[in-house]
Structure 1
Amino acid sequence: MSTMPAAIATGLGKWSCDEIKIPSIEKGKVLVKTNLSSICGSDLHITYMGWNVSEFPLPHGYPGHEGIGNVVDGGDTDYKAGELVLTVPNIWQSKCFAGYQLIDTQFLLRMPENIPESHLLMAQQLGTVVFGCRRLPSLVGKTVAVIGQGSVGLFHDFMLRRMGAHKIIAIEPVTERLQAGKNIGIDHAIDVTGKRATEAVLDLTGGEGADLVIEAVGSVETLNQSLKLVKLFGQIAAFGLPPSADKVLFDWDTFFRKCVQMHSVFRGQDEPGLPAFKLAVDYIERGEIDMAPFVTHQFPIWDIQNAFDLADARTDGALKVSLSF
């Protein structure tokens, strides 16, 4: 076989799939046959909102960065044909929405046997959450508000509980997603957004706000809402990607007056040896987190338009939408 299916974003919210040539092996790289890839919220921001996009069409396979597959050709590396690997974000070169990927070894992680590939695939996003959580202070006795209960928010619920958070408050208007948070073990579920959600969090915290806020949506509104939810001298972890790479409106006055510590979550894939992703795989392998509820929908790559439309609509109980090859 010399060709492969490769999805291509041709415009805002527009996808198609072509048959293109399989890339040839290069020095220091590994050729991986993609078995499954999944859609990340950042993929939606890039292809449905135009985040950091100068023009369409985008390169074939881009921006897919959550993938799992088998090594076809290890080239001059120590990877052998047949090995199952997780492909972590190669950021600007990520091309998981194609049947084969040519990828540097620093973005590969060998996977264990006898675990569903669809479950192991979730280690990519869980790994980014693990990376972010390792930057947090002790949460013993602390109250945490999580904005959003998509897969990122839910993975935070899992990690925050493990880290000793005393109270986890989740904000999510989609019923199925909020129920998923309850299943993981959140303490308070808020099914409204905006001002009403802010008031609910303040009521639950005696008017003080949360010690830590996780922004797991990626909108200007929720970014600024996090400043209203956090307490004086509190902390905010901004995980969600904004809708635009341009400057966004920011409530500097509240940020300044509350003396908030705020950081973004990015570059877990740049840690040598990928320790955060290894820990995520370990959680899955030991059965400490059940990935079955996260793997909700799967489409063949040729049906990528419907897959993305579902992921964007967040209907039918969709959490992680995957693509098969």
Structure 2
Amino acid sequence: MKAVRLTAPKHFEFIDIEQPQAIDGQCLVKLEKVSVCGSDIRHHYGPIKEESAYPMDPGLPCHELAGVVLESRTDSIKEGQRVIVIPARGTGGLQQYVVSDPSRMIVLPEQGPLDEWLMCQPSGTVLYACRKMGSVLSKNVVIFGQGSIGLSFTMIVSRLGARNVIVVDPLDYRLEKSKLFGATHTINPDKENLDDAISELTGGLGADITVEAAGYPDTLNLAFKHIKQFGTIIVFGVQADTFVPVEHNTWMNLQPTIIPTTGARSGDPIGQIQDIVALRERGWCDPAPLLTHKMGFSEVQAAYDMYEQRQDNVIKVVMDLNE
């Protein structure tokens, strides 16, 4: 089967590898759509690693994938069903077929474009984080970063009844997109004074809840700087470095509740995605507008370059493995 691997920083090559075989309790899935995630860029595609790290294993880096079950050797998943697959750690979806077991598969409705349903994968991980923050009714929420994760936070907390959904991002096209997802106020920190803007919107107190959805040291510290005393901070963005500098005195003075969240390591990697699929199906929310670009599998290099360089107002790019 056809697969892709990284042979050097930011350099893919196509190879032919043996098609995997399902064993008892597993399914063979023909992948149809895969999407690029920011963590793919930050931890695999973008950084320059030791020479011994290359070539990487086939299929990496990609963990947002959807396809059709070709063979099922389990009673809980049927052949022909459309599914999102959460690949096992250390494996990826830049290949035509994968095997998985039901504990890492989300069955999708029969109707609707598969690439749109795939957007439930990142939004589902955000739903897990939103459950950790408690009630947002009548609260001021500030979200740092409006990529696909930040926009998913905006979509969910706005529907959960936040008083103000204040979003911060240096890219105007993302801020414009956030209005479609429910942002009540947008701030470009490169164009206006962030401290003054948040102070005015929160009555000088700071936000009840801040969300770090960008994964940079500066935005992490901003999430602490702009929280009200005894507020709640959701840390979602994964930093590139193991250790990052923090403003310790701010933490001590404001004494916030700090909640790191990683849905994939929650012990139930599919439950929150199943829930967001159900919520979309009944019309409560729709993450499909995250999808801004569609490309073929043959354009994998261009897709990852587009995402990394934020070309053409990209939010999410999905590749069709049949093209």
Q: Same fold (TM over 0.5)?
A: yes
* Secondary structure of residue in 1 paired with 2:39: helix
Which of 169, 174, 178 lines up with 2:166 in the alignment?
169
- Write the mapping of 1:12-161 to structure 2, written as runs, cut at 5 A: 12-50=9-47, 55-90=53-88, 92-161=89-158
Q: 1:234 to 1:194 in 2, by over 3 A?
A: farther
Report percent identity of matched pairs.
31
- Write the mapping of 1:185-224 to structure 2, written as runs, cut at 5 A: 185-193=182-190, 196-224=193-221
* Secondary structure of residue in 1 paired with 2:17: strand
d(CA) in 2 for partners of 1:132, 1:51 = 30
Deviation at 1:199, TM superposition (A): 3.4
Structure 1 residues without counterparts, runs of 5 or longer: none
Which residue does the alignment assign to 2:317? 321
Which of 229, 250, 270 lines up with 1:232 in the alignment?
229
d(CA) in 2 for partners of 1:240, 1:273 = 17
1:133-186 residue CA offsets vs partner (Å, 9 max, x unmatched): 111121111100011111111111111012211111111121221111112221
| Superposition misfits of 4+ residues, deviation over 6 angstroms | 51-54
Of 146-155 and 56-65, deviating more is 56-65
Q: 1:198 to 1:98 in 2, by over 3 A?
A: farther
What TM-score, normalized by structure 2, do the two folds share? 0.92
d(CA) in 1 for partners of 2:305, 2:283 = 31
* Secondary structure of residue in 2 paired with 1:247: coil
Q: 1:45 to 1:273 in 2, by over 3 A?
A: closer
Matched, 1:286 2:294: no
Deviation at 1:77, TM superposition (A): 5.0
RMSD of equivalent CA atoms: 2.2
Q: 1:43 to 1:85 in 2, by over 3 A?
A: same
Q: 1:41 to 1:227 in 2, by over 3 A?
A: same
* Secondary structure of residue in 2 paired with 1:153: helix
1:209-233 residue CA offsets vs partner (Å, 9 max, x unmatched): 1111111111111111111111111
Q: 1:77 to 1:97 in 2, by over 3 A?
A: farther
Of 183-192 and 53-62, deviating more is 53-62
* Secondary structure of residue in 2 paired with 1:21: coil
Paired residues of 1:46 and 1:52 also in contact (CA < 8 A)? no
Deviation at 1:26, TM superposition (A): 2.6
d(CA) in 2 for partners of 1:155, 1:208 = 25
Q: Paired residues, what number?
A: 320
Of 309-318 and 46-55, deviating more is 46-55
1:260-300 residue CA offsets vs partner (Å, 9 max, x unmatched): 11121113464558331111101221233344422111222
Of 315-324 and 185-194, deviating more is 185-194
Q: 1:52 to 1:28 in 2, by over 3 A?
A: farther
Which residue does the alignment assign to 1:306? 302
1:16-75 residue CA offsets vs partner (Å, 9 max, x unmatched): 222222112233322111100111111111124449988232211123111110112213
